Structure 1
Amino acid sequence: MVDINPSETSIHRVSAADGLELAVEVRHPAGDPTLLFAHGFGQTRGAWRGAATALAAQGYRCVSFDSRGHGESGRLAGGDYHMEQFVGDLRLLAHAELRKPILVGASMGGLLGLVIAGEIDPEAFRALVLVDITPRWETAGVERILAFMQAHPDGFASYAEAAEEIASYLPHRAGRKSEDQLRPLLREGADGRLRWHWDPALLGGLVSESERYQPRLMAAAAKVRVPVLLLSGGRSDVVSRDNVNEFMQLVPHAEHVELPRATHMVAGDANDAFTREIARFVQKLATPGRSDAAVA
């Protein structure tokens, strides 16, 4: 391991199995245990900045990354994205750690964790924190997210225009994002217009095939044996109470905590409560006499 000041944040470029480069951010490199943060579809590692900073200050090693096609990570030539590529990337980063990490996965990131922990590699993670995601979700909520992502293919003339679009999408949030906050989320094209950070090709095959994975995700969830915390948003339009109840039947050893004021964007809406729940869960894992495995 590189000897870095524990207070430092470092950015690394990690090559995936197909050579595509992933942007990986490490906070408190000497901390323990490791929390590996996997963001949702259309997000970046910046979605975890508040939580990762707070948890690193509590002594945890916090690793976040931009998924392929997002943020500062590479894009696929031809744009042929499929779930297996994302699964492979997350598994690679999990095994790059000296100790098994605890996965904190939001939406897409949580689903990838379920596939890995329940189907492909049960030893990859010490535990799972699923952030407002279950193997079955509410279609209307996902369609609202996709409508936002598809709404401005020609981009924006200014950061102020982009800020107004986000404010309309998240009306419960106070204020507008500043240019500094928006800069990591937008790219300036040759035409001078600002477009969202994600590869537009992500909205093709990867989206069209998502719902057909639900039976596979449910089967994987039923086989997860590590400790699980499901954090849901009380105002989420993606995960309903019925979805939660179904998940708890599939994974009866899981713990569920609802953050009543949060929407699907749990970390952004209720970061302090979100961070407290993760710290409580991690500390519970470390309680003497408690096994890492929830089920024999």
Structure 2
Amino acid sequence: MVSPVENPDRLSSVLAADGLKLAVETVHPAGTPTLLFAHGFGQTRGAWTATVAALAAQGCRCVSFDQRGHGDSGRNRDGGYHIEQFADDLVRVARAQPQPPVLVGASMGGLLGLATAAEASPPPYRALVLVDITPRWEAEGVARIVTFMKAYPDGFSDLAEAAERIAEYLPQRRERKSGEQLRPLLREGADGRLRWHWDPMLLDMVRESERHQPRLLAAAANIDVPVLLLSGGRSDVVSRATVEEFLQVAPAVQHVELPHATHMVAGDANDAFTGEIARFVQSLDQPVARRAAGNP
């Protein structure tokens, strides 16, 4: 049986408004500042493993969680998922921390962070790191992701087959995921097949995602905490046009492009990605003006 649980001694939970349990993992609980990691659509907290380990080793308190319908967190009983549920969940996890965290949000996690940073009072985060996401995005890139997510409804016969399919989807990666790396991403069904860790009903949310873009642009204009945008130079979800629009609406946002990364920034260029987060976090305590976007 493939188990999605890793590091059970680090696990806790936060209750959502509807009573659903959100699986939360804390590394270096005595550290400071607190960094809260919110993964993208179809991912789990496991997407941050290498970054969390590196930043915890530098003294940060690192908290990651599985969003509802993903990983070890509960699934909606009625099968329907709504963006407001995810937004409220994120704020609840942030408010459960000993101090407002720096939120690191990838894709969907970043959009939720952007919206709630501008709309919640008081702001639930000290600062934001948005990972390859802007208030408006490229529809073709999202469609490619969703196509892959829909591609294997019957799952995989074993971990090797799953690794092969992922390698085809991410040809830029030099190394394939090992069996141990894949275990948290899959669940074994009663038929012995391995299927993704997320609820297939989540895919219905994609249909309504673009209607939230005006709200997100308004949030960007009203953001009142430091923001770093980390984009992938080879991303098909974020483009030069969507980045420029974001920076026009929110000119105080710092932007760093990692030229060799795709939308999967943390996995494609983890050392550079982690280094940029560390520099940004350190800059929050500096009394001098923050560094110009893209400069060391």
TM-score range, shorter chain: over 0.9
Between the aligned partners of 2:176 and 2:38, the Cα distance in structure 1 is: 25
Between the aligned partners of 1:218 and 1:230, the Cα distance in structure 2 is: 15
1:159 maps to 159
- What letter is aligned with 1:222? A
**How much has 1:118 moved relative to structure 2?**
1.3
**How much has 1:175 moved relative to structure 2?**
2.8
Between the aligned partners of 1:129 and 1:278, the Cα distance in structure 2 is: 7
- What letter is aligned with 2:182? L
1:66 aligns with 2:74: no
- What letter is aligned with 1:88? D
Contact map agreement 1:27 1:61 (CA 8 A) in 2: yes
- What letter is aligned with 2:53? T
Aligned residue for 2:79, secondary structure, equals coil
1:18 aligns with 2:12: no
Between the aligned partners of 2:123 and 2:139, the Cα distance in structure 1 is: 31
Gaps of 5+ in 1: 1-7, 292-296
**How much has 1:211 moved relative to structure 2?**
0.6
TM-score (structure 2 length as normaliser): 0.93
Question: How many residue pairs align between the two structures?
Answer: 283
1:87-128 alpha-carbon deviations (Å, 9 max, x no partner): 000000111111110000000000001110112335211100
Q: Which runs of 4+ in 1 moved over 6 A?
A: none
Between the aligned partners of 2:35 and 2:251, the Cα distance in structure 1 is: 23
Alignment of 1:1-296 (within 5 A): 10-204=10-204, 206-288=205-287
Aligned residue for 2:117, secondary structure, equals helix
Residue range with higher mean Cα deviation, 20-29 or 171-180: 171-180
Gaps of 5+ in 2: 1-7, 291-296
Contact map agreement 2:14 2:92 (CA 8 A) in 1: no
Residue range with higher mean Cα deviation, 194-203 or 169-178: 169-178
Q: CA distance change for structure 1 residues 125 and 144 in 2, over 3 Å: closer, same or farther?
A: same
- What letter is aligned with 1:149? M
1:147-189 alpha-carbon deviations (Å, 9 max, x no partner): 0100011111111111111000000112322211111111111
TM-score (structure 1 length as normaliser): 0.93
Identical-pair percentage? 70
Aligned residue for 1:198, secondary structure, equals coil
Aligned residue for 1:210, secondary structure, equals helix
CA RMSD of aligned residues (A): 1.3
**How much has 1:17 moved relative to structure 2?**
1.1
- What letter is aligned with 2:217? M
Residue range with higher mean Cα deviation, 111-120 or 31-40: 111-120
- What letter is aligned with 2:67? S
1:3 maps to none
- What letter is aligned with 2:240? R
1:31-69 alpha-carbon deviations (Å, 9 max, x no partner): 111000000000000000100110000010000000000
